[in-house]
Structure 1
Amino acid sequence: MFGENLKTLRKQKGFSQEELATRLHVVRQTISKWEKNLSVPDADTLIRLAETLEVSVSELLGAKIENENTASDVAEQLSRINEQLAIKNRRSRRIWKIVAIILAAIVLINIFIAVFFSVPNLNEGNQSNQPEITDQIQNIEE
């Protein structure tokens, strides 16, 4: 419904897809996707689109609201959209946090392994020097 309304209103105003895209600061392909119902604009862009076409958001969305609560209904729809976007953003942030924690753990484990295995065994070093020291002491006594 939105795509058909957008196309009809755009043509009634005499705008090409390119002209409308320029006014909204988007690319022409975005307008095409909206008209084909392949995607929808975000809340802010939807409001700018309605203002550019000189219609209400509810008319653009295809809803015929006849009572006086049009502003509250539109606000409610926008509120739902914003809530869905907030949930999506929280999920995305959670996933990135988990990825960061896993990467940090891997780096720390690698550092620990590198340090642990690169330290020479001090006992081995002392044992290899003992015969030399014993030989030197015997040479001095003779």
Structure 2
Amino acid sequence: MSALLGETVVEPAADDLKAISEKLEVVNLQLARREAARRKAVRWLLVSLCAALVAVSAALAAMSSPYLGWNYHDPETAVFGAAFHVFEWLFVRLAPLALVGTVLGIVLTRKKA
């Protein structure tokens, strides 16, 4: 830009370029480490979510809808039974999608060679 304006252009010394390139190399290394740490954290979060989904699925399967045998004459029991049923109904329908999403996320966040 200085050349276009007619000003004298001072060429940077080779040592200045070397110092700048070393600083950029350090910054690139820091960014790469930060990205690797973030990717690792996201991956472990997805693995934990996947394990939680499997554990809740196993617990619901082991309990086999206990609210079906409850006495619903008590209003509090009726409300809790309905809430339990809604949770189970939603979980059974949404958990497979969440499980596929977490597995896909785990695959996408794997360490690339």
TM interval, shorter chain, is 0.3 to 0.5
TM-score (norm 2): 0.43
Report which of the two structures shows the higher radius of gyration computed on alpha carbons.
Answer: 1
What TM-score does the superposition give when structure 1 sets the normalisation length? 0.35
Higher relative contact order (CA 8 A, sep 6+): 2
